[in-house]
Chains A and B, each alone.
Chain A
Amino acid sequence: MAGEISDAIIRVRDITVQFGKTRVLDGLNLDVKRGEILGFVGPSGAGKSVLTRTIIGLVPKIAGSIEVFGVDLDAASAAERRGVERRWGILFQQGALFSSLTVRQNIQFPVREYLRISQRLLDEIMVAKLGMVGLRPEVADRYPSELSGGMIKRVALARALALDPELVFLDEPTSGLDPIGAGDFDELVRTLQRTLGLTVFMVTHDLDSLYTACDRIAVLGNGKIIAAGSIADMQASQHPWLRQYFHGKRARAVMG
């Protein structure tokens, strides 16, 4: 048990988030272990994105504590917080690329801010990152408004990975991608996880992703984690929503 705790890269304890009178998260606990890909599922509107945004500090919580890389984000000084922020990368649901910067500038932006390196190396790293997410260097000088939805996702992932973070948050990375693209994306996340030793926190609805990419799955319901474990655990669970989710028509199609 003690080993597990020290191994957790994210520790969420008893967090409660409330919007007006609606309680979205209610005393939620969650650990994400170093080096794993955690798939995070739950019904629409259950607060998956809210949890992600709470962990990264965009949504205020009314109770509980969050530790990332062993740093308590509430107690951290501004410098410590920046240190943590530099070590994580975030892929927003809509990409959130800077619309007035080109793809090249978008990917180079965090690198340029944090590291003093030559323009040549910046360009080479940018091309390498584009290659990693499966894009050709030719897109580098396009603006986000000139990209397709899937390309925006990929560029946004490249930007999230720009500084080679240890932890990546992916908010529905495969939504809006064609099945082949989504499969490639899962494969990509797996590869990156292996090569860079990434820890991945992935909010997803994609059953394929759960089966092929994720090491562990956590399920959100009624503001709490209702189940966490391997895909086999999920299938064995008797919880009604889980039964429907993992034994529904679509799930059967995925399992073949």
Chain B
Amino acid sequence: MLTASFRDALEVVLKSGNFLNRELARRYQLWLVRDRFYKASGVRNLTFFQGAHICRRVGKVSGDPTLERIARGNALALCAAGSWTARFAPMLERMVADAEKLSGTRPNIFIDVSQVSRLDTFGAWLIERLRRSLTHGGVEAEIAGLSDNYSSLVDEVRRVKAEPVVDADRVTITGMLEQIGRAVAGIGGTLIGLIDMLGAVLSATAHVIIRPRGFRLTSTIHHLEQVCWRAVPIVVLITFLIGCIISQQGIFHFRKFGADIFVVDMLGVLVLREIGVLLVAIMVAGRSGSAYTAELGSMKMREEIDALRTMGFDPIEVLILPRMLALVLALPILAFLGAMAALYGGGLVAWLYGGVEPEAFLLRLRDAISIDHFVVGMIKAPVMAAVIGIVACVEGLSVQGSAESLGQHTTSSVVKGIFFVIVMDGVFAIFFASIGM
């Protein structure tokens, strides 16, 4: 046991900064803590340079971490050893959680970290957490034997304020009802957004008509290539197959009544009036509507649209008008090609499967359909294209900063596009029926 005067002298030497080296300072600090530990535990024979480890030296240097407890009298020492690093975090957390239960069992608690071979943020924080939870009734648990390398790390985590864990949003019935309510209210917002965009596009169109130099021909042609020319193979293939299927099913069922030849009527009316344009519109919504939304959305995310606006350009005129125009031109062309492919496919199946000769098919087709059916289909096509385009552009411009949002809006562009196409088809059906076309 050292005399008080010797300790004072040591402290003076320490504070004067003329001490031999930092290692000795560390040892002194460690020793002071140990001295207090032994005092509290009743041992009274300790000299400064005596080994005086509270903890036994652990043989392996970089082994698994351990936290040993040594209790004597009023004192408790927790000896951390091994590598206190992220790799062992799950183990460390359990050990620390166990040790935290000792809080308040003894008035003097020391945490000796002199045997810790490696320490990182995980280890440092867990030691700090242990220190905090063992601090009881105004008596702070002390950390001893911290090596110089790690002291700044421990200082760093000491500044961390433990915040209560925030619970994630719970799923509640009111919450679900609220979501439904918001979704319903959102429908109005969607409609207003569409009308807003329609107005913006019309006004940009008027602007371009007055000042044709503002029209972007190159861009329009580029988009025309994307949405029309490159879509031809897939559109023709799918409508061809649909024509085949309609024809085959028609013949299969009509044959029961001996009315094979009426399959031509069904095919002609269905393809020219409804299926041709509707099917192509749905394909275009999936193929080009989604592409428009994704393009505009990622431009929005990267502030490209803001950049355009600050340069004095109207994004509607530069980005949206060429896309809309390309789509409005493309859909009638694709619908026409699709209808032809479907008729061709239907005719082929009627011939091969139903034995309807091509001449008979064409004669019957001429009788069965009038120009009205074709006109009805062609009138619908550009309107549906406009609906798809407007929905896609509105969705594209409402993309927020995240990749998730881009995905959501692209999905919603296709879903809404198809929905509005079908609604428009219904409206057209009523309209043409009432004017007798």
Q: Give chain A's interface residues, CB within 8 Å of chain B.
A: 98-100, 111, 114-121, 123-125, 127-129, 131-132, 137, 141, 143-146, 161, 163-164, 191, 194-197
Contacts and interface: CB of A to CB of B under 8 A. Distances in A.
B149 interface: yes
A120 B97 CA distance: 12
B401 A123 contact: no
> How many B residues touch the partner, as a band?
20 to 34
Contacts of A120: 165
A157 B157 CA distance: 17
Contacts, number: 82
The 4 residue pairs across chains A and B that have the minimum distance between CB atoms: A145-B401, A100-B404, A99-B402, A164-B120
B400 A145 contact: yes
Interface in B26-61: none
B118 to A, nearest CB: 8
A164 B86 contact: yes
A163 B85 CA distance: 9
Contact of B165 (A116, A123, A125, A137): A123
Contact of B150 (A115, A121, A146, A195): A195
A100 B405 contact: yes
Nearest to A196: B120
B400 A196 contact: no
B156 A124 contact: no
Contact residues of B: prevailing secondary structure: helix
A193 to B, nearest CB: 11
A130 B404 CA distance: 24
Contacts of B359: none
Interface stretch (B121-129, B188-196, B283-291, B428-436): B121-129
A124 B132 CA distance: 13
Contact of A123 (B86, B89, B163): B163
A132 B121 contact: yes
B129 A195 contact: no
B162 interface: yes
B395 to A, nearest CB: 17
Interface string B157-187: 1011111011000000000000000000000
Given A128-B125, A128-B156, A195-B156, A137 B402 contact: no
A161 B86 CA distance: 11
Nearest to A118: B93
A137 B90 contact: no
Given A137-B161, A194-B152, A196-B120, A164 B85 contact: yes
Given A127-B160, A131-B159, A115 B89 contact: yes
A132 B156 contact: yes
B153 interface: yes
A125 B400 contact: no
A121 B153 contact: no
B67 to A, nearest CB: 15
Contact of B89 (A117, A141, A191): A117
Contacts of B163: 123, 127, 137
A146 B159 CA distance: 26
Nearest to A123: B165
B403 interface: yes
A132 B166 CA distance: 21
Contacts of A161: 121
A17 B147 CA distance: 44
Contact of A144 (B153, B161, B402): B402
Interface string B56-96: 00000000000000000000000000000110011001000
Contacts of B405: 100
A131 B401 CA distance: 25
Interface string B340-366: 000000000000000000000000000
Nearest to B400: A145
A117 B93 contact: yes
Contacts of A111: 86
A143 B156 contact: no
12 contacts: A99-B401, A115-B89, A121-B89, A124-B162, A125-B121, A128-B125, A131-B157, A131-B160, A145-B301, A164-B86, A195-B153, A195-B156
A145 B160 contact: no
Contacts of B89: 115, 117, 121
A41 B124 CA distance: 34
Nearest to B88: A115
Given A99-B402, A145-B401, A195-B149, 13 more contacts: A100-B402, A115-B86, A115-B89, A117-B93, A124-B129, A127-B163, A131-B156, A131-B157, A137-B161, A164-B85, A164-B86, A164-B120, A164-B122
